[in-house]
Amino acid sequence: MKSKMKTLSLAVLGFVGFGAAGAAMAQTCPASLTPPWSAALVTGAGSNASSVSGGFDTTACKLRTAIGQNANANGKAAVLDQTPANETRYRAQFIVDVSGIGLTQSNRAAIAFNVIGGTSPAGGTNNMFQAFLRGNGSGAALRFLVGDTAQPSFYRTIDVPLPNQAGANRVEIDLTVGGGTGSLRYWVTDVAASTSDGSPTGSSTTLANAAWTGVDQVTLGLGGASGQWRANFTATSYVFFDQFDSRRQTFIGH
């Protein structure tokens, strides 16, 4: 087993720096995001990412991110996890709160979570799953782009309104890899809501995603912000994340 795989099948205690384990071990938020993350990806004038006090659902700290208004389309405020190694099943969960930025208009969008494959299909990119934060005209929502080479665009699109517009939301995915047999299940709930493995918010099956080989790394935080996002949100227009957890098999839940 490759060394970078060793923690993925566990609850990854302390791995994210913002989870319940971190709250139990220390009440002082870390000055650096690395470790526990593999790298901090902060680029573009005014972009920022840091650990701050006041986590969600009993945690001590959370990840605070913002894209600078003068950053270009390549601006980032995210963290990178290189623990996975071509995983053919990947389960992950995180908490996100966009209540402080007034995300309503659909032309304001930014990537919040990016699952990157070990390879990329011919003519495609190595992004095998992306979760965008965006407005839907009346409120904040997630837009999933789910890798599927059987589609003309290489992706299926799934839109999910955030159930808690005024606070934090919990997002979990269960992604499997296969040539026409791949699948995605997802849970999007209020941060305090109970979830069960057998009752996802939705699913997408018969995915042709084997060309990506498997999950090799992921980013959590902001990137790929649209021009309208950057024009309307500033370096203090914060989006918060917390309680990242990733596993091979077992349901994470709440």
In a domain, 43, yes or no: yes
What order do you get walking across the sheet with 89-97 strand by strand? 48-53, 61-66, 239-247, 89-97, 168-176, 179-190, 202-208
Q: Hey, how many other C-beta atoms are within 10 angstroms of the C-beta on 214?
A: 20
Q: Which of 15-19, 68-72, 196-200 has the lowest mean pLDDT?
A: 15-19
Q: pLDDT tens-digit profile of 135-175?
A: 999 999 999 999 999 999 999 999 999 999 999 999 999 99
In a domain, 149, yes or no: yes
pLDDT at residue 254 greater than cutoff 50: yes
In a domain, 164, yes or no: yes
Q: pLDDT tens-digit profile of 32-73?
A: 999 999 999 999 999 999 999 999 998 999 999 999 988 888
Share of the chain above pLDDT 90, in %: 85
In a domain, 254, yes or no: no
**Contacts for 197-206: CB closer than 8 Å, 24+ residues apart:** 197/251, 197/253, 200/174, 201/160, 202/158, 202/160, 204/146, 204/156, 204/158, 206/150, 206/180, 206/181, 206/182
In a domain, 253, yes or no: no
Q: With bands split at pLDDT 50, 70 and 90, how would you rate the model's confidence at 86?
A: very high
| CA separation for the pair 91, 118 (Å, rounded) | 16
Q: Torsion angle, CA of 223/225/229/233, rounded to 10 degrees?
A: 30
Count of domains observed in the chain: 1
In a domain, 153, yes or no: yes
Whole-number pLDDT of residue 5: 29
Q: Residue 176's domain is classified under what CATH number? A: 2.60.120.200
226 class by beta-carbon count within 10 Å (0-12 exposed, 13-18 middle, 19+ buried): middle
In a domain, 57, yes or no: yes
In a domain, 252, yes or no: no
Q: pLDDT tens-digit profile of 101-144?
A: 999 999 999 999 999 999 999 999 999 999 999 999 999 999 99
Q: State the residue range of the domain holding 72.
A: 3-247
